[in-house]
C-alpha cells in the first residue's frame, strides 16, 4: 500500500494491463454479487414478504409500517442498482481506455484508490470537492 500511495503521489501516467485486468475481474465479481442480491431482494419483495406485510397491514391497519419497510427495501435496491451502473460505467471506461483517469481533472487516480474503489471516477481531491459541492446543504457565507 505504501508503494502504491507513493506511486499515486508522483502520478505515474497509466495503469498496467495486469492492473486493469485485476480491477476488471474485481468489478465483474462485484457485479455478479450485486445481481444475485438484487434478484433475491426482488423475489423477497415480490412474494412472501409482500404477502406477509399485506396481511399484517390488513389486520392492524398500520400502513405506515409497510410503507417504511418498502422504502427501506427500495433504498437498498436503489443503492445496489446505482452501484451496478457505476460498475458498467467503469467497465466502459476500461474499454474506452480512459479508466483510471479522473473525470474532472484528468490526472491519474492512484492505483491504491482504485483497488479500494474500482468504480472511482475521480481522484481524491476532485471527489472531496464534488462531495462538498453536492452532498452538503449550502451554508451561508460559502
Q: Which is nearer to Zn ion, 67 or 131 (CB)?
A: 131
Shortest distance, position 124 Cβ to Zn ion, whole Å:
8
Residues numbered 100-119 forming contacts with Zn ion, rule: CB under 5 A:
102, 104-105
Cα–Cα distance for residue pair 15/26, rounded to 1 Å? 15
Q: Which is nearer to Zn ion, 4 or 102 (CB)?
A: 102
Using DSSP's 3-state secondary structure scheme, residue 110 falls into: coil
Alpha-carbon distances, residue 15 vs 79, 89, 99 (angstroms):
28, 18, 9
The binder of Zn ion chosen from 45, 115, 126, 130 (CB under 5 A): 126
Report residue 77 as a C-alpha cell: 435496491
Shortest distance, position 73 Cβ to Zn ion, whole Å:
35
Cα–Cα distance for residue pair 95/114, rounded to 1 Å? 16
Is 69 one of the binding residues for Zn ion (CB under 5 A)? Answer: no
Shortest distance, position 142 Cβ to Zn ion, whole Å:
21
Is 123 one of the binding residues for Zn ion (CB under 5 A)? Answer: yes
**Crossing angle, helix 63-96 and helix 17-46, to 10 degrees?**
160
Q: Which stretches of the chain bind Zn ion, using CB under 5 A?
A: 102, 104-105, 123, 126
Amino acid at each position: 500500500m505504501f508503494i502504491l500511495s507513493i506511486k499515486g503521489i508522483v502520478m505515474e501516467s497509466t495503469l498496467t494491463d495486469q492492473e486493469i485486468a485485476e480491477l476488471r475481474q474485481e468489478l465483474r465479481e462485484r457485479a455478479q454479487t450485486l445481481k444475485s442480491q438484487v434478484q433475491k431482494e426482488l423475489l423477497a419483495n415480490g412474494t412472501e414478504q409482500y404477502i406477509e406485510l399485506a396481511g399484517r397491514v390488513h389486520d392492524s391497519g398500520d400502513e405506515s409500517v409497510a410503507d417504511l419497510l418498502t422504502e427501506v427495501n427500495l433504498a437498498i435496491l436503489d443503492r445496489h442498482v446505482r452501484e451496478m451502473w457505476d460498475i458498467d460505467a467503469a467497465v466502459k471506461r476500461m474499454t474506452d481506455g480512459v479508466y483510471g483517469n479522473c473525470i474532472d481533472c484528468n490526472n491519474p487516480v492512484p492505483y491504491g484508490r482504485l483497488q479500494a474503489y474500482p468504480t472511482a471516477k475521480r481522484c481524491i481531491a476532485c471527489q472531496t470537492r464534488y462531495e462538498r459541492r453536492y452532498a452538503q446543504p449550502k451554508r451561508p457565507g460559502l
